[in-house]
Chain A
Amino acid sequence: MLNKLRFLATVTLVGISGILGSTVGFASDPPPADEAAGSVSIRMYQVEGSLPADDPNSPQWSAVPESIFKLAPQVHWPERIQEVTVQSVKVKGLHDGQNLAILVEYEDPTDDAKDAAAIEFMVGDKKAHFAHGQPMLQVEGGPVNIWFWKKENGKALDMSAQGFKTLAAQEKQDVQATGAWEGGSWKVVFTRALQTEDEQDVQIEPGEWRSVAFAFWDGAVVDGLVKEKGSQKAVSSWWSIRAEPSADNSIYGWVIFGLALAAAFEFVVVRKLRKGQSA
């Protein structure tokens, strides 16, 4: 009888530990980012059908949840600037399994020919410094891929850099962009294939995280000079971006498996207990 009780005690102990473990959420740390601090990542939602790739004002965008990132003046390199026009950016992303579209929306009171926006990605496995992948002293860094849109060109440039003064347009241009200014804010949509043949490009594999950063230039002319140009710009830090993986229905299989396992466990315990009590 005592041995049986010991066995049952052990089984129950394991069961209760399982419950405790599964409810550890009650003591979980608060999420790392709050509303005021901004987002930490962008999710490119998967859509069926066509992407609003060339229309920043497409109603399709309004249903997509946004991420918000604060911006700072570029101070890392000389010819820095201490105040910038664009203070934060709202970012939305979509993909259809083949192509992606990223919409950036930010406040800029005037529509100027020299206004510009850029999205930067780390390329490959090596970490790259967010300031154009400039060399680090103790770490071997990698290159960055920059998608650069300028109002006066009305299109995007697909560029690469690994350190200052190395920024150059790629031979193979894979990115398109369209901008629309209205009522003091720019909406620019960038689009590209998730994957390209060009090893200088960031390759987006659904489900995998990539590092992304943003930059914006207010091209307003003040006293005959363009307000922000070159390294004088608003920048973000590195954040994370991911193309949503295809819906994975195997999750529900595992949930049912878990339910069944727990129910079977209960059945065995209760049966043992009943036998023990009648013995």
Chain B
Amino acid sequence: MRGPITSGAILLAGVFVFLKFILPLFTAPLPASLIYLYMTLAFSGIMLYGTMSASSLESLMGPVFRFLSGEGQSGTGKLARLAVLVLFPLLVGWQTYTSLAPSDLPPGENRTIHPAPPGEFVGLANPYQNNEANINMGKGLYAAYCSPCHGANYDGKGPAAKGFNPPPANFADPGTIAQLQESYLFWRIKKGGVGLPVEAMPWKSAMPRWEVELPDEFIWKIIMGEYDGAHQSPRTWEEDD
């Protein structure tokens, strides 16, 4: 017969395996902090269930109490108890040390990758016809101005890309331009890295402010060439457009 402690431990292990290994098969991996939160909730649930009545409390905690109190123990039981009693303070001491010791990791930064654009860049439509001539002109301009960083294959892996932090955007990734409207790209290309709001850390971006060098016509056509070359379509909000 399985006691409540074994059942609880199996349940906890199951929750961990599910969160850490099975869920990432279907979606993005969970951050460690979220896994810890879910594990704490699962543990609290098991403890609540186990302490609901006097008899369940006894069957859940009785073995733990008897183990810790050391009454009538001998051999391996005695050794195991000693090990737990010695290891727990050591663990606390080690944790204290690692949380206080100086680290070479600078403080974490949360950079917003696609911040909100300024109002004047919301909902602009590309004034140029989406035809082969315009797309080809856009691809030519892309090859000249954008591909050194964003790559001839639109994958963010141009020859100049590897030294940059943040790295140049990968347009072939469905998480970049496929999630954005053309007017958003128009803003990002025209104003460049220095046009970003504070949450996007403009001081780190190497993206040129292309309005200094290119007319709007070139920028709109580059956008067309970029979507076509990366096999993506711009996001639209109104289906009947």
Contact = CB atoms under 8 A, between A and B. Distances in A.
B195 interface: yes
A136 interface: yes
A129 interface: yes
Interface stretch (A20-28, A50-58, A153-161): A20-28
Given A41-B106, A237-B163, A277-B71, A5 B96 contact: no
A31 interface: yes
Interface residues of A, number: 82
Given A27-B32, A72-B161, A72-B162, A262 B104 contact: no
Contact of A258 (B47, B60, B95, B212): B95
Interface string B56-69: 01101100111011
A265 B36 CA distance: 24
Given A18-B92, A127-B203, A255-B96, A139 B198 contact: yes
- Which of B43, B68, B107 is most buried by chain A, counting CB atoms within 10 A of its CB? B68
B100 interface: yes
A261 B92 contact: yes
Interface residues of B, number: 70
Interface stretch (B83-91, B122-130, B169-177, B228-236): B83-91
A246 B83 CA distance: 36
A23 B201 CA distance: 33
B178 interface: no
Interface in B7-59: 16, 20, 31-32, 35-36, 39-40, 43, 47, 51, 54, 57-58
Interface in A68-122: 69-73, 75-78, 80, 82-83, 88, 122
Nearest to B31: A29
Given A5-B54, A209-B107, A130 B32 contact: no
A41 B68 contact: no
28 contacts: A12-B65, A20-B40, A22-B95, A29-B31, A43-B104, A69-B163, A72-B149, A72-B160, A72-B161, A72-B162, A73-B148, A82-B159, A82-B160, A129-B194, A135-B194, A137-B195, A137-B202, A138-B196, A139-B196, A141-B203, A240-B106, A259-B89, A259-B93, A261-B92, A262-B91, A262-B92, A273-B68, A274-B71
Interface of A: 2, 5-6, 8-9, 12-13, 15-20, 22-25, 27-29, 31-32, 40-41, 43, 69-73, 75-78, 80, 82-83, 88, 122, 127-131, 134-139, 141, 207, 209, 234-240, 242, 244-245, 248, 251, 254-263, 266, 269-270, 273-274, 276-277
Given A70-B163, A127-B201, A262-B89, 13 more contacts: A5-B54, A5-B65, A9-B51, A22-B94, A75-B148, A77-B208, A80-B208, A127-B203, A136-B194, A138-B196, A245-B102, A251-B100, A259-B90
